[in-house]
């Protein structure tokens, strides 16, 4: 592993040098264990502690298959899907691995008693399998997390519709929170040259998701002038949605839960901000009953901020807690676009406000390769910036996931894998200097 790191850091190693480097038989990786899936049984979600379920293990290097690449991972990031895996909710991810393992002898590799998690990486290609022509050893890359087989016609218009669509490092094994990762080569994209490894690894999953959800024709198709209500506007998804709204000439209405988070949104350029904590919205009277008066109070606040207008698009992901309010405050003909249900997936809303006002609910999930590529291109051009706040070591991934689970973090949380320290891997210092304030906007807040 030391030789690999030395080659990456030398700045002079050629593709042939990388191809000639011997690969280790094993590497360190963040895992959950199959024999621990019941460890939190009966506990409330909030009390399930990722620090107890996430391990750093020495694992064997997987065999490289056709169309795949082994990547030396310099840095990764924590996504909420890793929190779900670590608390075994809404179900254990070992079921996904078992199902994938039934597809073919090659996919059987994924069905193991441990799950190496992580759906982001920035690093360097070490080896490519047969049939890979677009990438070679030594290429500096980031990886998006869409894994598809594309053997069915269903996925050939939009690859997210492939019946064998999976999220790498969540529904497949050999994820990015590790020193080495196994990906399909069509997950690879160029690493943005002006960013460090950990900055480059931070946007991937959430940036691509927000891009499809908000901008793409497969999502809400946001346009100039739209009012966009963004829940969790300084969080993982929201910090990119806010940037897309601003860059696309829309007006974000940012919902956050503290003055610090409101300040971050202001620093991104947002002007219309709602602190849901300070204004104490209680959309639910009790576990089963919502309070439409509170939806209306929330809608009035939005109208106050916009000068009387309602929102064209709601960027939804909190789910059960907010969904009724989201449907209510959307303007006639507007769109509620949802990609998650953090607070619960059994939503309730008043359907009269949906049909009578011709609103649409759009389901969105990650992004196809083209969408992920376009989202990464915006990062590489310095038009959208990473929202990295804090960086942990691989050993402390459990703590990092705990912070995200408890909503103690801002923006994105990074993890150093092979990178010995922060700040390495920057190739384009001129572009970096131009955007340095925006790149550091979320750091240490």
Ligand X SMILES: C/C=C/C(=O)SCCNC(=O)CCNC(=O)[C@H](O)C(C)(C)COP(=O)(O)OP(=O)(O)OC[C@H]1O[C@@H](n2cnc3c(N)ncnc32)[C@H](O)[C@@H]1OP(=O)(O)O
Rounded to an integer, what distance in angstroms lies between the CA atom of residue 282 and that of residue 295?
A: 9
> CA dist 349 to 312, 322, 339, 430, Å?
18, 9, 17, 50
Rule CB under 6 A: is residue 366 a binding residue for ligand NDP? yes
- Minimum distance from residue 167 beta carbon to ligand X (Å): 5
- Minimum distance from residue 308 beta carbon to ligand NDP (Å): 24
Exactly one of 9, 257, 348, 357 binds ligand NDP (CB under 6 A); that residue is 257
Q: By CB under 6 A, which span of 57-65, 106-114, 178-186, 337-345 interacts with ligand NDP?
A: 337-345
CB 93 within 8 A of CB 115: yes
- Residues in the chain, overall count: 445
Q: Which residues bind ligand X (CB under 6 A)?
A: 80-81, 84, 90-91, 145, 167, 205, 209, 340, 366
> CA dist 226 to 175, 245, 249, Å?
37, 8, 8
SS3 369: helix
Question: What is the footprint of ligand NDP within residues 83-112 (CB under 6 A)?
Answer: 84
- Minimum distance from residue 413 beta carbon to ligand NDP (Å): 8
Site string for ligand NDP, 35-74 (x = CB under 6 A): ----------------------------------------
- Minimum distance from residue 409 beta carbon to ligand NDP (Å): 6
Q: State which residue, 140 or 198, has the beta carbon closest to ligand NDP.
A: 198
From the list ligand X, ligand NDP, none, pick the one residue 321 interacts with, judged by a Cβ distance below 5 to 8 Å according to partner type.
ligand NDP
CB 205 within 8 A of CB 121: no
From the list ligand NDP, ligand X, none, pick the one residue 318 interacts with, judged by a Cβ distance below 5 to 8 Å according to partner type.
ligand NDP
Q: Which residue, 331, 363, 330, 335, is CA-closest to 347?
A: 363
Q: By CB under 6 A, which span of 22-30, 31-39, 295-303, 335-343 interacts with ligand NDP?
A: 335-343
Q: State which residue, 110 or 331, has the beta carbon closest to ligand X.
A: 110
CB 35 within 8 A of CB 183: no
Q: State which residue, 255 or 372, has the beta carbon closest to ligand X.
A: 372
Structural tokens at position 135: 């990438």
> CA dist 375 to 186, 259, 267, Å?
15, 29, 21
- Minimum distance from residue 108 beta carbon to ligand X (Å): 17
Q: State which residue, 192 or 203, has the beta carbon closest to ligand NDP.
A: 203
From the list ligand NDP, ligand X, none, pick the one residue 407 interacts with, judged by a Cβ distance below 5 to 8 Å according to partner type.
ligand NDP
Q: By CB under 6 A, which span of 93-101, 174-182, 256-264, 346-354 interacts with ligand NDP?
A: 256-264
Rule CB under 6 A: is residue 267 a binding residue for ligand NDP? no
From the list ligand NDP, ligand X, none, pick the one residue 91 interacts with, judged by a Cβ distance below 5 to 8 Å according to partner type.
ligand X
Q: Which residue, 210, 83, 92, is CA-closest to 144?
A: 210
For residue 443, give every residue at least 6 positions away whose Cβ sits within 8 Å of its Cβ, in sequence order, or none.
388, 389, 390
Rule CB under 6 A: is residue 321 a binding residue for ligand NDP? yes
For residue 375, give every residue at least 6 positions away whose Cβ sits within 8 Å of its Cβ, in sequence order, or none.
203, 207, 208, 210, 211, 240, 367, 384
CB 71 within 8 A of CB 141: yes
Rounded to an integer, what distance in angstroms lies between the CA atom of residue 315 and that of residue 210?
A: 9
Rule CB under 6 A: is residue 231 a binding residue for ligand NDP? yes
Exactly one of 72, 237, 268, 378 binds ligand NDP (CB under 6 A); that residue is 237
> CA dist 280 to 188, 257, 294, 297, 298, Å?
43, 10, 10, 11, 10
Which residues of the chain form contacts with ligand NDP (CB under 6 A)? 79-81, 84, 205-206, 209, 231-232, 234-238, 255-257, 261, 276, 317-318, 321-322, 339-340, 342-343, 365-366, 404, 407
């Amino acid at each position: 592993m030391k030789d690999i790191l030395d080659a990456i850091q030398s700045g002079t190693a050629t593709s042939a040098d990388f191809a000639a480097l011997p690969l280790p038989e094993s590497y360190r990786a963040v895992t959950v264990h199959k024999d621990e899936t019941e460890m939190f049984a009966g506990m409330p979600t909030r009390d399930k502690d990722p620090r107890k379920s996430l391990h750093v293990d020495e694992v064997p290097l997987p065999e490289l298959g056709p169309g795949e690449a082994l990547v030396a991972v310099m840095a990764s990031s924590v996504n909420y899907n890793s929190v779900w895996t670590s608390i075994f909710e809404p179900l254990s991810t070992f079921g996904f691995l078992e199902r994938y393992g039934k597809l073919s002898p090659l996919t059987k590799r994924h069905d193991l008693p441990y799950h190496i998690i992580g759906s982001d990486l920035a690093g360097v290609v070490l080896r490519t399998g047969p049939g890979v022509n677009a990438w070679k050893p030594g290429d500096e890359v980031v990886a998006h997390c869409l894994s598809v087989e594309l053997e069915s016609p269903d996925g050939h218009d939009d690859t997210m519709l492939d019946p064998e669509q999976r999220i790498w490092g969540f529904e497949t094994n050999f994820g990015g929170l590790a020193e080495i990762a196994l990906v399909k080569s069509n997950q690879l994209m160029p690493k943005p040259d002006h960013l460090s490894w950990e900055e480059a690894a931070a946007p991937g999953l959430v940036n691509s998701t927000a891009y499809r959800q908000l901008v793409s024709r497969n999502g809400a198709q946001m346009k100039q002038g739209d009012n966009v209500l963004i829940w969790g506007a300084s969080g993982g998804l929201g910090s990119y949605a806010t940037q897309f709204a601003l860059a696309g000439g829309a007006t974000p209405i940012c919902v956050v839960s503290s003055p610090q988070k409101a300040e971050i949104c202001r620093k991104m350029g947002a002007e219309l901000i709602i602190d849901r904590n300070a204004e104490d919205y209680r959309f639910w009277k009790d576990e089963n009953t919502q309070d439409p008066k509170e939806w209306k109070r929330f809608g009035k606040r939005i109208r106050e901020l916009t000068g009387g207008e309602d929102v064209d698009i709601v960027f939804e992901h909190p789910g059960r807690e907010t969904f009724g309010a989201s449907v209510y405050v959307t303007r006639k003909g507007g769109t509620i676009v949802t990609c998650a249900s953090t607070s619960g997936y059994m939503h309730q809303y008043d359907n009269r406000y949906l049909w009578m006002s011709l609103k649409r609910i759009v389901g969105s999930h990650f992004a196809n390769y083209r969408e992920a590529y376009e989202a990464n291109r915006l990062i590489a051009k310095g038009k959208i910036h990473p929202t990295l706040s804090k960086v942990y070591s691989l050993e402390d991934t459990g703590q990092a996931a705990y912070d995200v689970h408890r909503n103690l973090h801002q923006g994105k949380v990074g993890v150093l894998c092979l990178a010995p320290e922060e700040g390495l891997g920057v190739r384009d210092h001129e572009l970096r200097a131009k955007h340095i304030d925006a790149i550091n906007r979320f750091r240490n807040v």
